[in-house]
A = this chain, B = another copy of it.
Amino acid sequence: MSLDKTERGNYFEDFRLGQIFAHATPRSVSEADAALYLALTGSRFAVNSSEPFARAIGYRRAPLDDVLAFNLVFGKTVPDISANAIANLGYAECRFGAPLYPGDTVRARSEVIGLRETSKGNAGIVYVRSSGENQHGDPIVDFVRWVLVPKRDPASPAPAASVPRLGEVVAPETLTVPPGLDLTRYDRALAGSRFGCDDYKIGERIDHRDGMTLEEAEPALATRLYQNNARIHFDAFRARAQTEGGRRLVYGGHVIGIARALSSNGLGNAFHIAAIDAGSHVAPVHAGDTIYAWSEILAKSDIAGRTDLGAVRLRTVVAKNRPCADFPFKTGDAYDPAIVLELDYWVLMPR
């Protein structure tokens, strides 16, 4: 008999602690990814929009958006890790390394660092540490994520539970500044915001104000650009039978990208994401939803040896179909029903 050639992805019982995946389909990126990303998200950070601006502060050229780099690496991991996932539960310990430049080629690998069967026994949580690197082997971004994956056979035995100990916050003294950066020539007027690191106060809240509606075609285009082939995002025929109102589930990483783009209103000089401490997709976003976001300054930190820039820790809270001028968040442990994403991360800003 011939082997079945159709890839059906892994189920919970297919994963082993310590298992390593070298993910398929390396991806060369170009200026076209920058333009498409701009068209898909409306990002306005000057460093990703202007070659002269990026070069003036020491980038070799305009880097691709950090969330695009994250989503490209994430996309590579999907066929092996989350093709059958029920939900993408969380992220931690995400660090950005070398900037991703047009002309680079992204490859990705993942290691299974935790496994835990759910109490119902028909699924389990898979923890993986995924890392992306460029054609020189330089790390671009690595992160831990955990996903809820069903069992193929609900009766298959549970593996020994193993839950990795994950940092709650990336220590600011470990943040990486892209090599060669010198922000003394950073032009705030060109960047569209006069506020630097020192202008933000811990506890300050910022309404990013604008809303962005995600029509069916837009997240579909974006998710294919990321080469994330999780079928749930593409198959409206099945979605009509399975999801609320028949609308397709929007890939959560694209919601992060939209939130980052919206955040330029109020955080226009947060030119680089250095790390993501934690992220949770609290509720699903479906095609047709409109995304709003607000942020709170959680902490600030010097970067050793640098007077030109500093790190700011942000919590960005993302809502659907609800403007955020009044900063909706939680009542006790319960999220406001409009909240879809909570993201805790470090950005670099000029001082």
A residues near B (Cβ < 8 Å) are 2-3, 5-8, 22, 24-28, 30-36, 38-42, 44, 46, 49-53, 62, 79, 105, 107, 135, 189-193, 195, 199-201, 204, 206-213, 215-218, 220-222, 224-225, 227, 229, 231, 234-238, 248, 265-268, 288, 290, 321, 323
Contact = CB atoms under 8 A, between A and B. Distances in A.
A26 B39 contact: no
B52 A26 contact: yes
Closest 4 CB pairs of A and B: A24-B192, A32-B35, A211-B235, A237-B290
A46 B220 CA distance: 20
Contacts of A22: 189-190
Most B Cβ at <10 Å: residue of A204, A225, A265: A265
A200 B24 contact: no
Contacts of A6: 206-209, 265-266
B217 A42 contact: no
B235 A210 contact: yes
A128 to B, nearest CB: 18
State the oligomeric state as a number of copies.
3
A25 B5 contact: no
A30 B35 contact: yes
A79 B204 CA distance: 23
A291 to B, nearest CB: 9
Given A204-B2, A215-B220, A25 B191 contact: yes
A285 to B, nearest CB: 13
Contacts of A193: 5, 7, 24
Contacts of A79: 192
A176 to B, nearest CB: 25
A239 to B, nearest CB: 8
Contact of A238 (B105, B211, B267): B211
Contact of A216 (B26, B191, B199, B217): B217
A221 B224 contact: no
Given A3-B199, A30-B34, 12 more contacts: A5-B267, A6-B208, A24-B189, A26-B46, A32-B34, A36-B39, A38-B225, A39-B225, A210-B234, A211-B231, A215-B215, A218-B221
Nearest to A135: B52
